[in-house]
Amino acid sequence: MPNQPPAWRHNFARRSSGILLHLTSLPGDHGSGDLGPEAHRFLEFLERAGQSWWQMLPIGPPGHAPAFSPYDSASAFAGSPWLVSLTALAREGLLASPDLKPVPGLSSRRVNFAATLRFREERLRQAFASFRHRRGERGRAFRSFCDLNADWLEDFTLFAALRRHSGGKPWTDWDKEVRTRQPVALRAAGQRLRDEVAAHRFVQFEFDQQWRALREHAQRRGVGLIGDLPIFVAHDSADVWCHQGLFQLDGYGRPRQVSGYPPDRFNRNGQHWGHPQYRWAAHEQTGFAWWVRRFARVFELFDAVRIDHFLGFTRTWSIPAGAPSPRSGRWVKSPGSGLFAAVQQRLGARPMIAEDLGHVTAADIHLRDTFGFAPMRIFQFGFGSEPDSADHLPHQYPPLCAAYPGNHDNNTLAGWFQELRSAQRSRVLDYTGGQPATIHRDSIRALFASPARLVICPLQDILGLGSHARMNVPGTAHGNWTWRLESTPSTTIAKTLWCQAGLFGRSPSPRTCGQKSVSPP
């Protein structure tokens, strides 16, 4: 792309705004959103709306049933197979038109994960059968991709093949020689499952090709992509299987200590996430090599990153495996300063958002500010009773911060407002100068007018949707991550956003709307 600045030049130095929407929430006929035409249409909407950023949730393979959480992935490096566009595969000649016909069980309103994953996997395998005999430029591109990404691709594809061959058993239930990664056993497994391994390589190649096309389109539209890096990885993942010495495991590979969080504003009983805790001393001995590669990978895909559970980089809530309650945990220190120093030495300064929500300590603030990360501010929290509530009111925001009405763990603005007590509702209305029927627009206007350089709004709040559109309820395993948009937002919504972005100096090409309507470019 000639005359296009490098992706990392997207930063938080100027006033800007964007939208939070996970790819699976996009419209489409195949059970969930993906990297296909609707993702490109959404980029065009963002440009028309004067928005500079598109933030997503983690894009790796989601976790197992029943949660299917994007924060419990089988790989910290691989892309989700279910985000590969079947429409794009058909355009490539790898699928036929009848293959794209939806089947019963797929919904345009909610992601039915079981039906969607089954439908998509069948068609990905059909596409691989068509692709494996390809030669020429596409074949060369495939081989180049495999060579360039071999450091994580070979481990992940063998892991995925072994898990499928075992009927979905966790790696701790595999044969001892494979579980403990004996070289002879790994070579034999790779040879025995070479066709299955090749199929997973193909899917990751297609993900990469489609992602590159989306990223280039975003660059042309002036839109930066913000990714999400979870602090923990799933126990049943290629990462833990391949790097067992970096995690607190027993002799059978089972976690000794797992992740979670003590009681807080999200959950009065605390949260039990269940990821294996790190052996931080082992990471320090390697110069944090695995972490540096993780950050390098996320910046291969995104222009900026939100660091999930940033507080965990100063200390984590460590719960004994098998403990009956998250309350059984204790705080264990984490070497965040050394880790981020290693990342910065390798990658340089990059735009990062620190999800510093919860029991924030002086150590958290020092770590965040030392490396210049943008803190998060949540409008909804500004009307609570916690000690830090006032910090979340828009007039209190520092310039370097990422301000949100709420994030993926919050209710929507409209749903949140409906659940408030009468006195709290009055406070919100007094603060915004708004009305109950337009509280989503009034709240977002307050955010746009704030000193915060970066404002990110969930699309559900832009649309004024109620609690039915909530993405996640922390501490619950059922019914999350399923909300879908039925069609690209209208021109009227784009025009309203574009005017508001211009009015508050957040548009890439600042303009004012005045009394007469002005069409966006």
The strands making up 271-276's β-sheet, listed across from edge to edge, are 271-276, 257-261, 315-320, 330-333
Q: Are 24 and 408 in contact (CB under 8 A)?
A: no
| C-alpha closest to that of 22 among 508, 352, 469 | 469
Which residues neighbour 103 within 8 Å (Cβ) at sequence distance 6 or greater?
Answer: 115, 119
Into how many domains does the chain fold?
Answer: 1
Is there a domain that residue 396 lies in?
yes
- Looking at residue 9, what is its pLDDT? 57
Q: Are 210 and 85 in contact (CB under 8 A)?
A: yes
The DSSP element (H or E) to which 41 belongs, if any, is: helix 37-48
- Looking at residue 121, what is its pLDDT? 97
- End-to-end alpha carbon distance in the chain: 22
Omega cis (within 30) before 170: no
Mean pLDDT in each 10-residue stretch from start to end of the chain (521 residues)? 46 96 97 98 97 98 94 97 98 96 94 97 97 85 96 98 97 98 98 98 98 97 97 97 98 96 80 95 98 98 98 97 92 98 97 95 98 98 93 98 97 98 97 97 98 98 98 91 96 95 85 48 38
Largest CA-CA distance found in the chain, in angstroms, rounded = 74
Cα Rg of the chain, angstroms: 23
Omega cis (within 30) before 62: no
Is there a domain that residue 517 lies in?
no
Is there a domain that residue 171 lies in?
yes
Kindly report the backbone phi and psi dihedral angles of residue 353, in degrees, each rounded to the nearest multiple of 5, phi listed first.
Answer: -105, 130
Note down the domain range covering 338. Answer: 7-503
DSSP, collapsed to helix, strand or coil, labels residue 4 as coil
- Looking at residue 512, what is its pLDDT? 56
- Looking at residue 277, what is its pLDDT? 98
Kindly report the backbone phi and psi dihedral angles of residue 319, in degrees, each rounded to the nearest multiple of 5, phi listed first.
Answer: -110, 130
Q: Are 54 and 225 in contact (CB under 8 A)?
A: yes
pLDDT in tens, 127-145: 999 998 777 888 899 999 9
Is there a domain that residue 125 lies in?
yes
460-to-59, 410, 447, 455 alpha-carbon distances in Å: 20, 11, 16, 15
Q: Quote the tokens at residue 339.
A: 């880790």
Kindly report the backbone phi and psi dihedral angles of residue 306, in degrees, each rounded to the nearest multiple of 5, phi listed first.
Answer: -95, 125
Active-site pick, 308, 356, 364, 461: 308
DSSP, collapsed to helix, strand or coil, labels residue 199 as helix
Residue type, 425: R
Say how far apart CA 193 and CA 162 lie, in whole Å.
8
**CATH assignment at residue 244:** 3.20.20.80
| C-alpha closest to that of 84 among 110, 56, 123, 112 | 123
DSSP, collapsed to helix, strand or coil, labels residue 351 as coil
Residue type, 220: R
| C-alpha closest to that of 367 among 380, 381, 356 | 356
Say how far apart CA 48 and CA 62 lie, in whole Å.
31
- Looking at residue 117, what is its pLDDT? 97
DSSP, collapsed to helix, strand or coil, labels residue 234 as coil
Is there a domain that residue 299 lies in?
yes
The verdict on whether 308 is a catalytic residue reads yes
What does the buried/exposed string (b/e) look like for 137-169 if buried means 16 or more CB atoms within 10 Å of the residue's CB? eeeeebeebbeebeebbbbbbbbbbbbeeeeee
- Looking at residue 518, what is its pLDDT? 41
Is there a domain that residue 344 lies in?
yes
Say how far apart CA 439 and CA 462 lie, in whole Å.
11
| C-alpha closest to that of 26 among 49, 42, 50, 46 | 42
Is there a domain that residue 515 lies in?
no
Could you give the angle at the alpha carbon of 337 between the alpha carbons of 335 and 339, nearest 5°?
A: 70
